[in-house]
Amino acid sequence: MNFAETWKRSADCAAAVHQIRNRLQSIIIEAALLKRNAAAGDSAALARIGALAQDGAGYLDLFSELLPPPGFDGSASLAKLNDVFSESGVHANGFPHGACVRCRFDALEALVRELLADAIPCRGFRPVRSTASLNQRGGIEFCIELETGPPQRSTATVTPWMTAQQMTRDIGGTLELHSGDPPMVRLQLPCTNGTSA
């Protein structure tokens, strides 16, 4: 399994863990409310509710140890991304000269491919053009202009959008979908100036 496949699998699992964590937190809150409102005479029900809350809290502690993402150390030149965008039919311009994202190039490439080929179409859009600029926080911001299209169906429990968000978090960035005219995706990643390693 290559780096991109390994990372996508890790991101899928992390996104699924996020969904499970949210549900477990809801269960813990429900159990606490039931315990507070339970009839005073039903000691067996109270004991079961308490055990349920303890189990849920125990599982939450395990999630941070599951499926750590692969290493991302490196520096990826933005100039190398032109091919990835053009293969996806997206016109890319405005990449700052000499700017690099703080991660391995294969990680950056995997994220951009996941975003353009799966995550954006899953939300009912088609990427059209992209620009990138340095922001004031020492990062790079990609603005990907979108056109409305039919949403692609996903049979996976974890949507491609959630996977792309997790991949972005793994690198230390943020990913947002903005409605408007035109709709747009903003991808912000940590960046360095200079040549890629």
Give the pLDDT confidence of 9-65 residue by residue, as tens digits.
888 877 777 777 777 777 777 777 777 666 566 666 666 776 776 776 666 656 655
11: containing domain: 3-65
What CATH number is attached to the domain comprising 171? 3.30.565.10
Residue type, 16: A
CA torsion through residues 143, 165, 137, 88, sign: negative
Q: Are residues 18 and 94 in the same domain?
A: no
Count of structural domains, the chain = 2
Give 130-175 pLDDT, tens digit per residue. Answer: 998 888 777 999 999 999 877 777 665 668 888 899 899 989 999 9
Closest Cα partner for 157 from 18, 5, 45? 18
CA distance 115 to 134: 20
61 and 81 assigned to the same domain: no
Distance between CA atoms of residues 127 and 132, nearest Å: 14
Query: Quick one: tokens of 151?
Result: 């949403």
User: Per the domain annotation, does 70 fall within a domain?
Assistant: no
Q: Same structural domain for residues 84 and 163?
A: yes
**What is the structure's pLDDT at 196?**
39
pLDDT of residue 197: 39
Are residues 35 and 128 part of one domain?
no
Mean pLDDT of 85-102: 87
pLDDT of residue 67: 61
Residue 71 lies in a domain: no
